């Protein structure tokens, strides 16, 4: 059951990444590109959990991938705020 739910989360993150990619192509706003990249990384994280099904002791390595996604999100928000503040 866990693999099925992790697969659903992977699919949901891919769909979110595709939506943000479409918004980026329409507006060329870098924030949407950052969000698309972050959701793609989140999809990799969920897929790794589903494929590897690691023991409890090894899960923190996969969660580092998710940390990268959140760092990308924060970087995109900071980039957007910096660009708006400099206008």
Which tens digit of pLDDT belongs to each residue from 5-52?
989 999 999 999 999 999 999 999 999 999 999 999 999 999 988 888
Which positions ≥6 away from 16 have C-beta within 8 Å?
35, 39
Start-to-end Cα distance in the chain = 50
78 pLDDT above the threshold of 90: yes
59 pLDDT above the threshold of 80: no
Task: Tell me what pLDDT residue 26 has.
Answer: 95
Region 72-85 average pLDDT: 90
Task: Tell me what pLDDT residue 1 has.
Answer: 82
| pTM, to two decimals | 0.87
CA distances from 44 to 32, 35, 76 (A): 18, 14, 19
Residue that has been written with the tokens 């660009």 in this structure: 83
**Sign of the C-alpha dihedral, residues 38, 40, 41, 43?**
positive
Question: Do 34 and 75 contact (CB within 8 A), yes or no?
Answer: yes
């Amino acid at each position: 059951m866990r693999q099925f739910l992790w697969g659903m989360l992977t699919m949901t993150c891919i769909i979110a990444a595709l939506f943000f990619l479409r918004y980026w192509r329409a507006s060329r706003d870098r924030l949407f590109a950052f969000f698309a990249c972050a959701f793609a990384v989140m999809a990799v994280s969920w897929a790794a959990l589903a494929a590897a099904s690691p023991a409890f002791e090894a899960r923190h390595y996969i969660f580092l991938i998710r940390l990268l996604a959140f760092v990308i999100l924060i970087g995109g928000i900071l980039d957007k705020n910096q660009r708006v503040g400099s206008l």
